[in-house]
Amino acid sequence: MARRKHIATGCRTCSGRGYLISPENGQYARAEICDCVSECSECGGSGTVFLENERGYRYLERCGLCGITRLKVRRYNNAKIPSKFVDVLRSDDIDPREPDQSQYAAMSYVKSFVDKYPKEKGFLLMGGPGVGKTRLAVGAIAELTLQKAVECVFTDFFFLLADLRKAYSEGIPENEIIGPLITAEILVIDEMGKGKSSEWEQNILDQLISKRYNSSKKTLVTTNYVARESLPRRSAARTEILEDRVGERIASRLYEMCIPLFIKGSDYRKGDISS
């Protein structure tokens, strides 16, 4: 059976993408299958078709016409992207408030991470608030889910700690919280270091990071803190160190598995990281 790669090329509603991003609504960003795909001529909208092998056995397979579009939409919806980032669909989709060289360098690494996936290392985006770190990380997973159907999960560090504490107080094993984060192909941990973590929490986070490291999974991290190795030589005294927030083990592991990208902002403007 000939497989047509593109569907709905002529659809004006979705410009041939096969999906639409829903307007901001609810907790997470959502995509929907466009009508031009849901009324698929090949599978009647079920997303699967029966095929027959040479011995006459019939088996169920993903529809060659719409199946991949359905998978991409499912991946996007399962990524738990906060709905305020619903407009971010590309990794270079940020609107730099104070564009500078470090911002463009970060953007170009993130773009190549997406384009060459899974060849490039994950990244650790450091820098003050408002420099576009989260938008860059969200742009990467929006693109990877919608273009390449990669399984991605976004998690907020502060909420993750809260979930762990809640699970502990309710007697729920912490694995129920971190299990899906360990297995996701790509994990975004946003705002790492926000909220002081206890030793117990750091141990669980260390397990999460180590297990991902050992199975060569990509982890994308944003933080307002700076890893000691990336500290500008003449840093301002108020600069806070990532190690002080999450412990040495986690920070050094992140350094092994991620490319450090330091985005300058007004807080760090006086630092000189190029030397």
Tell me the backbone φ, ψ of residue 195, rounded to 5 degrees: 85, 120
Is 151:186 a contact under the CB 8 Å cutoff?
A: yes
Q: How many residues does the chain have?
A: 275
What is the smallest separation between the CB atom of 94 and Zn ion, expressed in angstroms?
A: 27
Give whichever of 42 and 243 is closer to Zn ion, judged by the CB atom: 42
Give whichever of 77 and 230 is closer to Zn ion, judged by the CB atom: 77
Q: Does 8 bind Zn ion (CB under 5 A)?
A: yes
For residue 153, how many C-alpha atoms fall within 13 Å in the half-sphere facing its CB?
16
Is 268:232 a contact under the CB 8 Å cutoff?
A: yes
Q: Does 36 bind Zn ion (CB under 5 A)?
A: yes
Nearest 5°: the CA angle 21, 24, 26 is 110
3-state helix, strand, coil in the chain (%, to 5): 40, 15, 45
DSSP string, 107-154: HHHHHHHHHTTTSS-EEEEE--TTSSHHHHHHHHHHHHHHHH---EEE
Of 29, 31, 33, 34, the one binding Zn ion by CB under 5 A: 34
Of 63, 94, 144, 205, the one binding Zn ion by CB under 5 A: 63
> Which residues inside 12-31 make contact with Zn ion, applying CB under 5 A?
13-14
Of 228, 230, 229, 188, residue with least CA distance to 208: 188
Q: Does 65 bind Zn ion (CB under 5 A)?
A: yes
Q: Does 7 bind Zn ion (CB under 5 A)?
A: no
Q: Does 40 bind Zn ion (CB under 5 A)?
A: yes
What is the pattern of x (binds Zn ion, CB under 5 A) and - over residues 93-132?
----------------------------------------
What is the smallest separation between the CB atom of 61 and Zn ion, expressed in angstroms?
A: 11
Stretch that binds Zn ion, among 9-17, 116-124, 133-141, 146-154 (CB under 5 A): 9-17
Stretch that binds Zn ion, among 62-70, 151-159, 181-189, 264-272 (CB under 5 A): 62-70
Binding site for Zn ion (CB under 5 A): 8, 11, 13-14, 34, 36, 40, 42-43, 63, 65-66
